[in-house]
Amino acid sequence: MVTIEFLGPIQKAPLTMEAASLRDVAEALKNDEEMGQWIESCAVALNDTLVASLDTPLKEGDRISLLPPVCGG
């Protein structure tokens, strides 16, 4: 099981799921109506390290963080 946390304005409770890669997580979240507006624009961190490839493998206990774009000054 991996844990997915949603940061910033996404306002969604953490989710746990079975996933072999970030691609599995992305596919599952694309089917979530709440996530539709966020999934394409979020940065992704795996255990606090930014990653870019959906082919990144996952292991038991990994934590995936979705970081929506923000602006500030």
> Can you list the alpha helix ranges (DSSP code H) found in 1-73?
22-30
Q: Please, which pLDDT band fits residue 56 given cuts at 50, 70 and 90?
A: very high
| pLDDT of 25 higher than 80 | yes
- Quote the pLDDT of residue 71: 57
Read off the pLDDT of each residue in 57-68 and give the average, rounded to a whole number. 96
Q: Residue 52 CA to chain centroid, in angstroms?
A: 11
Contacts of 24 (CB under 8 A, 6+ apart): 17, 18, 58
Convert the pLDDT of each residue in 2-17 to its tens digit: 999 999 888 889 999 9
Model pTM score: 0.87
Question: What is the number of other CB atoms lying within 10 angstroms of the CB of residue 68?
Answer: 15
- Which is higher by pLDDT, 51 or 36? 51
> Which CATH code, of 3.10.20.30, 3.30.1360.120, 3.20.20.370, 2.60.120.10, is assigned to 2-67?
3.10.20.30
For residue 1, the number of C-alpha atoms closer than 13 Å in the C-beta half-sphere is 5
Averaged pLDDT score across all residues of the chain: 90
